[in-house]
Amino acid sequence: MSSTIVHPEARHVLRTPLHVGESPTWDDRTGDLWLVDILAPAVVCIHADGRESFFRMPALIGCLALCDSGRIAVALQTGVHLMDPASGALELLCNPDGGRPNSRLNDGKVGPDGHFWVGTRDETIPQTTNGRLYRIAPDGRFTQALDGLKTSNGLAWSPDGRTMFHSDSSQQFLQSFDFDPESGSLGPPRRLLDFTNAEGRPDGAATDMAGFYWSAGVLDGKLNRISPDGEIVEVYQLPVSGPTMPCFGGPDMRTLYVTSLRRKDGLIDEEGSVIAFEVEVPGVPVPRFPI
């Protein structure tokens, strides 16, 4: 079955150029949108009134998560820290990757179990398979959930919290697991989809309330909407060539925000940015880190 091609009416919502925009996260309390610029490195906030705030980080940053306390959990190459958004001060929570060479924390998200799930990217050239996925508790304790990866990415959960989706951007596959929201335990992996370069390579992701998985196709300017059994049903052709991750937001969770990265390749000369457009099906809210 062929996919439906959609050309959304997208608007740019960030004035300041990004190097590698990632990890957009909607704050339902304030109407702010938080995200990271991996290479700046920085935490970025697009406030509800349009103001933009930048918090420079001391090391490369992979992702962030909102906390119950109002702080921001940030996954840096030096570990997971808690950031005070009033001062920008950082407090180390844990360092699950332990300073391993040729590795850095990458995509992450808080799961239905109240833990911060953070994966790593293998920085070896050429890549090996030293990538991992960690499960981090609010008290800083952590366990290793997966290994044998190259670029852990695309974390998202089904509306009922009983399925976890996960991709490997470098090995270009999407998999899912049965998930226990109480214990955070995973069932055996199910290989849902192997991507081609023409489908854009799977990057960051989000899920909607109908159970569909939205995956950024970073190589080809696409956002792929994928059914729970792994079929690409809709392809959103975006006005940015390097989309990195979507997230749902807005008062009704029907606004889709998408970060992108800087691309300068041949005829492409584009800065990283954030775009937004409206969709029909609302997104699955992302829990706060209970800390």
Q: Which of 239, 247, 260, 229 is nearest to 286 (CA)?
A: 247
**E strands in 14-71:** 21-26, 33-37, 42-46, 52-56, 61-66
Max intra-chain CA distance, the chain: 52
**Binding site for substrate, residues?**
104, 106
> In Å, how far from its chain's centre is CA 119?
10
**Binding site for a divalent metal cation, residues?**
22, 153, 203
| Torsional sign, CA 74, 71, 261, 231 | positive
Are residues 187 and 158 in contact, defined by beta-carbon separation less than 8 angstroms? no
Are residues 71 and 88 in contact, defined by beta-carbon separation less than 8 angstroms? no
Q: In what order do the strands lie in the sheet with 21-26?
A: 21-26, 33-37, 42-46, 52-56
**Binding site, residues?**
22, 104, 106, 153, 203
Catalytic residues, by residue number, are 203
